[in-house]
Amino acid sequence: MRSDNAKSGMQQAPARSLYRALGLTEEELARPLVGIVSSYNEIVPGHMNLDKIVDAVKQGVAMAGGTPIVFPAIAVCDGIAMGHEGMKYSLVTRDLIADSTECMAIAHQFDALVMVPNCDKNVPGLLMAAARLNIPTVFVSGGPMLAGHVKGEKRSLSSMFEAVGSYAAGTMTEEEVREFECKVCPTCGSCSGMYTANSMNCLTEVLGMGLKGNGTIPAVYSERITLAKHAGMAVMEMLKNNICPRDIMTEAAFRNALTMDMALGCSTNSMLHLPAIAHEAGVEINVDIANEISARTPNLCHLAPAGPTYMEDLNEAGGIYAVMNEIAKLGLLDLDCMTVTGKTVGENIKGCVNRNPAVIRTVENPYSHTGGIAVLRGNLAPDSCVVKRSAVVPEMLEHEGPARVFDCEEDAIAAIKGGKIVAGDVVVIRYEGPKGGPGMREMLNPTSAIAGMGLGSSVALITDGRFSGASRGASIGHVSPEAAAGGPIGLVEEGDIISININANTINMKVSDEELARRRANWTPKTKEVSGYLKRYRRLVTSADKGAILED
């Protein structure tokens, strides 16, 4: 066992004395040591129940003959961090989580790991760590929140942000906003739509790193506790059979994940996280293959914010395996990929039926014949940008309008809520990328303000920052190169005509090459004064099209 390096032989007697200080018995030390990476905290609603999940995992590991030992991972609540400087510290935690988990796992020579994450950067950060460490590892998340109910309709966090925009537009009263505030987030769990947290938990199932139901069983269901016990048992089987993350997270598995990303209509943040996870697994993903995969993958799900269904509905309809079985009818998945169950994808999804074609559309009746995400290129984004096509209304798939240019999120929000943005405009928010932010803030506040003020079908937003999975509309992010790195988005001037064609995967400003060259000759990218971790992060981080990974 790997842990013998830390606990066996006369040389390790001092270490054993410290294990005894922990209260471990001879019997426990004779067994494999399994690290349980707990993301529990009391500030993130998706993590407040993880102590119960961790306890269940420990029982599963112990029942299967292992010794479970818990250590922590941090997590930021994007909703609470949204709209102020705290959001600069969200994406950056992904690498802190991966690095700290690597440190703990190697320093203490664990034989296997069970990752217990739930929210946005926490899931990909631990997937990165799993790929890097390559010891038997299984994932079990805390599960999604149930949808809220306001005036007889299901609602979620995106409804809350849009309610604030409606209040600014004078179409909603303070009392009505208060009702949303008290009802849209009714339970613990990751927010109830197909936002980033749930996107990544669902894709963890697709990658083969989580058991069936990991992405969709609601946080408050007892079935989630059962799942956690089975996860603890599963990692012991993986250890016995020496099944490791890089046996599972292969190039074919990542292509499966991108395919299901398109079918499910996941958050655009998946286009940051999948390349970063793949990089740690020794697999390189070029974002351009997203369009290749999208061209042949139908979009079968419209969960909030794209539509009126929620994670609990997807779970009742058969969950991720049912969607995979539907997509497999078209021969679009590699069914031979290994998973944490010790079985292949094909063996896992066999017999998993679609129980509600209104929630999971059939391949014969998709929302669209192309996938939920599109990658665009043009003179505004030579290295690419990303949009959640499935959340864009048809009339905005092609749009031209004058640029309204802002060098930070706050200025854009003030203009939107101040009524200075009108139908047809293209809001451009720059210097919010990985280096420029730094930290690549999510733009849920401005996108929600646009939707709440009734401009969602007539105004586009373009940024070198990123979006929450709760954003909807013609919200185009990850513009690369970013302004701070000398990207053309930094050359856009007020009133320039921006042409967006999502169907053709293009984005351009109607400015001549000669004029752009003139502007560039007289332009120096802006920089912001930062200190501490953000200063280090800005120096090391790469562009969004590379997954915003840190340079080696």
Catalytic residues: 468
DSSP 466: B
Place of tokens 């919010």: 432
Cα R_g (the chain), whole angstroms? 23
Residues 6 or more apart whose Cβ sits within 8 Å of residue 281: 131, 245, 246, 249, 250, 254
Give the Cα-Cα-Cα angle 125, 284, 78 (nearest 5 degrees): 25
Collect all residues with Cβ–Cβ distance below 8 Å to 301 and sequence separation of at least 6: 194, 263, 264, 265, 307, 309, 314, 323, 359, 360, 361, 367
Do residues 62 and 25 lie in contact, with contact meaning Cβ atoms separated by under 8 Å?
A: no
Q: Where are the alpha helices (DSSP H) in 30-109?
A: 50-63, 78-81, 93-107
Beta pairing, strands 398-406 & 497-501: antiparallel
Between CA 524 and CA 125 the distance in angstroms is: 34
Phi-psi region of 297 (alpha: psi -120 to 50; beta: other; left: phi over 0): beta
In this structure, the number of other CB atoms found within 10 A of the CB of residue 43 comes to 11
Q: Provide φ and ψ at 42, rounded to 5°.
A: -110, 20
**Structural tokens at position 122:** 């926490």
DSSP labels, 202-257: HHHHHHTSB-TTTTTS-TTSHHHHHHHHHHHHHHHHHHHHT--HHHHS-HHHHHHH
In contact, 120 and 196? CB cutoff 8 Å = yes
Contacts of 18 (CB under 8 A, 6+ apart): none
DSSP strand pairing (475-480 vs 497-501) = unpaired
What is the torsion angle, in degrees rounded to the nearest 10, for the CA atoms of residue 363, residue 366, residue 372 and residue 375? 80
Strand pairing partners for 550? 541
